[in-house]
Every structure is written in C-alpha cells, then in structure tokens.
Structure 1
Amino acid sequence: MEAEDLASQWERLHLSKEESACFHVKQENINGDEKRDKYCMVGKALTEKGVNNEGFRITMSQIWRLEGWVTFKELGEQCFLIEFQKIRDKEKVLSGRPWFFDRHLLTMMEVDDKESIDALQFRFEPFWIQLHNLPLSVMTKGFGEQFAEAIGLVIRVDAEEDGRAWGRCLRVRVAVDLNKPLLRGKWLKLDDKQHWVAFKYERLQNFCFHCGVLNHKGKGCLRSHNAQQGDTQPSTQFGPWL
C-alpha cells in the first residue's frame, strides 16, 4: 500500500486519547555523531517480477567497481537500502545513472534520516537524451537548456566552453518523469521552416511500448488492457528505436 493511502486511511480512523497523544523525540536519544544517511541511498528495480536478492547484490557490486565495500538490505517490493563505505563511491553511482538490473531500470533516491522509507516516491531518473535533426545555429548550450525543459528538469547540456555543441546531435541530461510517456520528439520552427527534432534516450532498455512510461512494462499497462477489452487491437506508439 502506498504511503499516501496509509496516511488517508489513518485520517479516517477515530483515535483514542492514548493513540492521539504525540510522542516527542529528545535529541539526546538520537545516536551517532556522523549522519549515516550521507552514505546511503534507496534503489528500486522497476520490474513486475521478483528480484533475486543475492543476484542483485553480486551483479551491482561487480558493475559499479567501487573502492570500498557496499551493503544491500532488502526493503521489499524490489527495493533495497544501499550503504557505501565511501562517499565518493556513492557519488560515482549516482552520477553514472541510469543503471539497470536484468534490463530493468534501477531508480534511486538519496536517504534523509528524518524521513520514513515508506514516504519515498521514485518519480524521476536522469537520462542523457540526444536531440537529432537540429539546425546548426541552435546547437548551443543556451538553446538546449530552454528546449529540453519540455522533457523535464535540465541537469546539463553537453557543449564546448564557448557554448557551441555542433555535431551529429545535441546531448542533454534531463531528469525524466517515470510516470509520464517518453517524449519521442518535438517540432521546432526556425524562421519559416519547421524541423522535427527526434529524441533518442541513451542506455534506455525495457519500458512500456504501449504508453511509453518507464515505471511498468506491457503487463501492467492500463492503456493496453483497456484497448484489449474493446474491438480494436492496441497499437504500439513506442519502440526500441527510442
């Protein structure tokens, strides 16, 4: 059950006097001089099937090639609490996203020890996106920052020191919303001419070809299910070409 569902359920209950009394935490009861959460993050594999815990631990440890140790604690629902010995190892993993396990996206969030694990919402994951068919005059850092806002929060534009990014495509790093369909492209009008700017997502693996979202595959797609209930076969508007 989602955290917001639990919260709304508790709001409808009639609490007793003892249940309503709020317990206040004293600062001296919080142990540890150094914040442990700085070394931790939570990772969730976006898969509709279970994850082999030992296989996950071994595979990700080998892929990341860390300097120090790393531990994995299962939290349920393909979710893990991941603790690193060294901060720079954690930063290396976060900056190297997206990561995949068995072709399923591993979405990650940093930990705040003042927040509940159940309250975490895995919604965004950074991707490098290639913008193809752009006129050379707009292949710049400034244009990339403005144009890519249609996709999501722009993290970085791959450009030279002078701001130019001339080449086969313009690369932008964007925090993609896992609950929204991937944008396949966007029309651009320069002077009197229109250009179709096609998007390609680097290191993109499994996602839903029916509705284009990253947080589920075909079996959990409501669009595909609703179409199958009718007379028409569901059409796939997305594919591996993205």
Structure 2
Amino acid sequence: MEMDELTKRWEKLNLSKEESKVFHVQNEGAKEGSSRGKHCIIGKVLSEKGVNNEAFRSTMSQVWRLEGWVRFKDLGDQSFLIEFQWLTDKEKVLSGRPWFFDRHLLTLLEVNESVSIVGLQFKFEPFWVQLHNLPLAAMTEAVREAFGSSIGPVIRV
C-alpha cells in the first residue's frame, strides 16, 4: 500500500457520534479519590538512560525503611506514582530528600488531585546545605537565611 493511499484512508477516518461523547467528572466523583491522593507522590529519576523498574522498586523500598507498605506504578519516562499506606511514611520520604537511585537524582512531587499527572513539571528539588568554618559572628539565622536565599528559595533554616 502506498503512502498516498494510506493518507487518503486516514483522512476519511471519523469518530461516530457515540465515540465522540465527552465524559465529565462530577465533583462528587473527584472527591472519592482525594484521600488516595494524599497518600501519593510522583517520583522521576533524572537519567538519560532507562531505569530498571523492579530494581527501583526494590531498592527504594529498602532504603526508605517504611513502617507500612509502598506501591509503585510505572508512569513511563522514568516516572512513578508512589503510594504509601501511612502518611507518616510519605512525610518521612519527603523530608529525607534528596534521594538518589543508581547515582541519579530522584525528584519528588506531591500529588495535586486537580492536576493531570501528564501536566506535572519537575523543576525543583530541595537540598540541605551546610556551611563550614564560618566566623562565630556570622553564625546567625540572618546570615543562614541570606546565604540560602542567594542560591534559591529557602524552605527552612
């Protein structure tokens, strides 16, 4: 079959009236899943090479040492939906950042139930910063805040 013929066939394809129906999610339906979203985060391994999904699941489950279970759903593009049994485990993982897998940064985002997972952007990842050998007079919260602000938004001093 030639390309021109395929193009003509493709142009003739149309959705039927039934196939064109739009499904609208009602607020009540969206609220049902909201408690599940509170137990989830999205993780993305920043690597140009592929990630072994099973190795990622196994390694991170062991490294995090959680009290409850954790489930990983592969979202493609080295991204995972990570669901925790307990909110305390989720908070433990978020507060322990940054995390690495196979020497690559694992970026994490909390799930916003009103935003499509496809639209998420991994732009920032918090890091702890330590200052060493400061003069005693410079060991103030103001200096720490100013230094932190010079490299990015400060979450906590």
Counterparts of 2:33 and 2:56, CA distance in 1: 31
Aligned to 1:76: 76
Alpha-carbon distance, 1:125 to partner: 1.0
Higher deviation after alignment, 128-137 or 148-157: 128-137
Aligned residue pairs total 138
Say if 2:145 is the partner of 1:155: no
Deviations 1:7-49 (A, max 9, x none): xxxxxxxxxxx9xx98653223336275211000000001110
Q: What percentage of residue pairs aligned between the two structures are identical? A: 64
The root-mean-square deviation of aligned C-alpha atoms, in Å, is 2.1
Within a 5 Å distance, the mapping from 1:6-155 to structure 2 comes to 24-30=24-30, 32=32, 35-155=35-155
Q: Is the 8 A contact 2:34 2:113 kept in 1?
A: no
String of CA shifts for 1:93-143, please: whole Å, max 9, x gaps: 000001110111101000011101111111111111122443321111121
Per the alignment, residue 218 of structure 1 pairs with: none
CA shift in 2, pair 1:54/1:136, >3 Å: same
User: Residue deviations 1:137-179, cap 9 Å, x none?
Assistant: 111112111222011111222xxxxxxxxxxxxxxxxxxxxxx
Distance in 1 separating the partners of 2:130 and 2:29: 50
Q: Which has the higher contact order (CA 8 A, sep 6+)?
A: 2
Structure 2: gaps spanning 5 or more residues: 1-16
Q: Stretches of 4+ moved more than 4 A in 1?
A: 21-24
Report the 3-state secondary structure (helix = DSSP H, G, I; strand = E; otherwise coil) of the residue aligned with 1:35. helix
Q: Deviation string for 1:21-79 (max 9, x for gaps)?
A: 98653223336275211000000001110000000000000000000000000011110
- Structure 2 residue aligned with 1:162: none
| TM-score (structure 2 length as normaliser) | 0.80
Instruction: Return 5+ residue gaps in structure 1 as ranges.
Output: 1-17, 158-242
Counterpart CA distance in 2 for 1:142 and 1:83 is: 38
Where 1:148 maps in the other structure, the secondary structure is: helix
Name the CA shift for 1:110/1:34 in 2 (closer, same or farther; >3 Å).
Answer: closer
Q: Is 2:43–2:106's contact at 8 Å kept on the other side of the alignment?
A: yes
TM-score by length of 1: 0.53
SS of aligned partner of 1:127? coil
Residues 106 and 54 of structure 1: is their aligned pair in 2 closer, same or farther, counting only changes over 3 Å?
A: same
